[in-house]
Amino acid sequence: MNREEHFRKLECMYLAAPVNEYYAPTIHISRGEAQVSIQVRPEFFHAAGAVHGVVYFKLLDDSSFFAANSHVEDVFVLTVSYNLYFIRPVSKGVMTATGKVVQASQRLIIAESVIHDSNGKEVGRGSGTFMPSSTSLSEEIGYK
């Protein structure tokens, strides 16, 4: 299998996850990088009328995770830890996170991600560590 095929299969796996039926994200994966976007909806708001932190975390973790998994072609990676920063609130438009691998070894991958709003302003930032799991990338988990 070539790298492009691996990236497209990871995208299919991501979109097939039941949680994504609710968030309706888009994703694009390349070597060491992944971009995830979500259209802001009022259902994502906390009581003060802006996007809840859970959406920030989802965008940051998902984009970093798939940037990391672009380096691993046989198994699903796992998030070991994640640190995030909320920079500014968002209440409309599209939020887009771009994750990039900054360090990779056989046992541990470090990736960072930044979220921008529709105006190109940085609204969140995070970094995580990821490691290969024992779960094979297979059709059973949507990798097809």
pLDDT bucket at 43, cuts 50 / 70 / 90 = very high
Considering the four listed CATH numbers 3.40.50.11540, 1.10.357.10, 3.30.70.20, 3.10.129.10, the one that applies to the domain covering 3-141 is: 3.10.129.10
**pLDDT average, residue stretch 100-110:** 96
Across the chain, mean pLDDT equals 97
**pLDDT average, residue stretch 114-125:** 98
Torsion angles phi and psi, residue 117, rounded to 5: -85, -175
C-beta neighbour count of 132 within 10 angstroms = 18
Helices (H), 34-90: 53-69
Torsion angles phi and psi, residue 92, rounded to 5: -160, 165
Q: What's the full length of the chain, in residues?
A: 144
- Domain limits, the chain: 3-141
pLDDT at residue 1, as a whole number:
74
Q: Are 67 and 34 in contact (CB under 8 A)?
A: yes
**pLDDT average, residue stretch 95-118:** 97
**pLDDT average, residue stretch 41-57:** 97
* Residue 78 pLDDT > 80: yes
pLDDT bucket at 122, cuts 50 / 70 / 90 = very high
pLDDT at residue 79, as a whole number:
97
How many CA atoms lie less than 13 Å away from 18 in the CB half-sphere?
0
